[in-house]
Each structure stands twice: as C-alpha cells, then as structure tokens.
Structure 1
Amino acid sequence: MSEALRKLPEHLWEGREELEVLTFEIAGEMFALEAVHVQEILDLLPETAVPGAKPFVASVINFRGKVIPLADIRLAFGMEATTTTIDSRIIVIELDIDGEATLTGIRTDKVHEVTTLEKSHGEPPPSVGMRWRPDFIDCLVRRHGEFIIIPNLKTIFSAQNERNSQHAQQG
C-alpha cells in the first residue's frame, strides 16, 4: 500500500485534531498513551509472580485493593528486559479488552508529562523498515524533532492472549 493511501487510525483521533496524552519512556524510546485511559501513575510496588504466566504479564500488583496484571510491553516489542531504576513507574490504565473494562499496569522506565499531540504531525507506521510489528503501533507523532510512538495496546494485548491460547492448546 502506498504511503499516500495509508491513513492515521480514526479510532484514535475520533475526528479530533489534538490528542491529550501521557508520555513515557521504555528502553530509550518515547511512547504515549491517551490520557483519558490513565487511571494513576504509581511508584514501583511489590509484585507477585504468577506461576506459569507468560513473561509479558508475569506478575500482578495490588491497586487500591484490586489485583491487576502488570504488563511489560517492552517484551511485545522484542526489547530487552531491564532492571528498574529510581525513575521507573507503573502506569495504571483502563482498557477495553474483549468488551470488558480491564485495569492493567504497564511498567515504564520513566514517565515524562501530559501533553497535547497534533494529528497533523502524525504518521502511520511505515510498512517496511520497522523493527516492530506495524500493527502494534497506532501512529508516530513528530514533536520537537523526535517521534513519539502511540502503541496499539488492544492489538498488543490481543496478540499476547492469542499466543497464550495457542501455547495452552499445544501443551
């Protein structure tokens, strides 16, 4: 498909020209999540490993008395796992997964700011030359000479669930 025919995902922008996002860093890359989905930003909490769980969501945390999964999206992108630092945070988001509002924690290296991104600066991920699956990225937005990656968390979580189901059926 030619670059001219590829479009930004409408489900993300929903007719808006600007998007309020929370920016954060993972493995030196700048990411952003739509701020409306962010419930809270937490300092690191004690994690409980889930026996037999896949590395993508290998542990859970206690968030306001609820047990929620803690995802490491760097693994979905094929990045190396890193050790936590004083800047590491957990972003608690609410996602619609399989029609159900689900609270999930996402481990980050550093949270930066809530800011506004402009649709006019957005581009769909290139279909070639990416080291990551293009369907894992909703769009790239250019800001101050760098790209901010807006991940498609629904696709990432669905792909991980499908992979888990396939492994369960094979095992």
Structure 2
Amino acid sequence: MSKAPTTLRTSSESQFVSLGIGAEVFAVPVDTVLEILDMQPVFRVPETPTHVLGLIDLRGRSVPVLDLRTKLGLPAIPATETTRILVLEVAVAGRRLVLGLVADRVIEVMALDAADIEPPPDVGVGWRSAYIAGVGHRDGKFVVIFDLAQLFSTEDTNALGVVSPSPEVRAVA
C-alpha cells in the first residue's frame, strides 16, 4: 500500500508536536510551541505543587515549568540526555500564558487527519480525561492529544504567576 507524500495537505489535517512520556506518545498543537529546549536548571519556587518544577530564564523572562510526568500522576525520574522543555503559549482562563512543559523526549512534528482523531473514550469510571482533546491513530499506535487549557489549570498558573508572550519569544527551535 503506497503512502501519500508528506507535502500533500488537506484542510482536515492538523500539525502536532509529538512527545514521549515513558512508552506513551502524546501531542500538542504545533502552533502552541514557541521553543523546544534541552533540559536546564530550574529555580524551585517554595510552596508550589510538586508537578510545578519552578522557573527557567528564557532570554531575561521567567517562564514557569511543569513536569508532565508528575502532572499525569507518574513517578518523577531524573532528566536524561533526551529530556526536553517545550515552551508553549497557551490560553488559560481567558489569558495567554507562556509555560514550559518537561517531557522525556520530543519525537517529531506530525500531521494527523481529522478522520484519524476520535474523542476521548468514555470508560464509565472517573479518570483524568479532561486533559485529553482527542486520541489520534498513527502507524497503528495511539497518540493522546492534550487539551492544553485543561492540562494547565488555573491553580498551576497562579502558583507561579503568569508570563505574557512577547515577539522575541516567538521562535521554534
């Protein structure tokens, strides 16, 4: 079976940055990603939730950083050579915020057709599906697409304050 060229785009196709946490693959819309950084020291802010790692300096701006593993209820692990910080611009509670998200690895920019994305499954019991905008299918595997407004709660953003985006921050690595 032949595959369509990757340069062919349809109006129902969306671009995502895929990232890995353990063996699982997640995705965020590519238009929310400002930069992808190597892991760097994070200034810990006292009395913040455990998944809020603290602040990093991004060209003179303080950017709050959250650990995706602990946010999702997984155990924290030490950073490795593949650990990355995705700096995202996200709309939360009517505000545009710049936040960092630590992932085990960044995989690729990928296209998903709307027909390959389904709503979060209803399993009949309570689970954290509020973070999930949809579940994509790619090469026979699942890709969980985050609902970033839900993932970054007001509690998280208030714990560290907010950072307004600026034109000089708008550069994808």
2:109 aligned residue: 114
Does structure 1 residue 101 correspond to structure 2 residue 96? yes
**TM-score (normalizing by structure 1):** 0.80
Q: What secondary structure, in the 3-state scheme, does the structure 2 residue paired with 1:48 have?
A: coil
Q: 1:161 to 1:87 in 2, by over 3 A?
A: closer
User: Aligned ranges for residues 1-171 of structure 1 at < 5 Å?
Assistant: 16-128=11-123, 132-158=127-153, 160-161=155-156
Structure 1 vs Structure 2: percent identity of aligned residues?
A: 34
8 Å Cα contact 1:61-1:69 kept in structure 2: yes
8 Å Cα contact 2:49-2:156 kept in structure 1: no
Q: How far, CA to CA, are the matches of 1:77 and 1:42 in structure 2?
A: 21
Q: 1:120 to 1:93 in 2, by over 3 A?
A: same
**TM-score (normalizing by structure 2):** 0.79
8 Å Cα contact 1:27-1:79 kept in structure 2: no
Moved more, 53-62 or 135-144: 53-62
8 Å Cα contact 2:16-2:109 kept in structure 1: yes
Q: 1:130 to 1:21 in 2, by over 3 A?
A: farther
Q: 1:157 to 1:150 in 2, by over 3 A?
A: same
1:169 aligned residue: none
Q: 1:130 to 1:116 in 2, by over 3 A?
A: farther
Q: Read off the aligned partner of 1:119 and give its amino acid letter.
A: A
Q: 1:89 to 1:62 in 2, by over 3 A?
A: same
| Structure 2, gaps ≥5 residues long | 1-10, 160-173
Q: How far, CA to CA, are the matches of 1:145 and 1:160 in structure 2?
A: 36
8 Å Cα contact 1:77-1:132 kept in structure 2: no
Structure 1 residues 67-97: Cα deviation after superposition (integer angstroms, max 9, x where no partner): 0100112223211111111111100000112
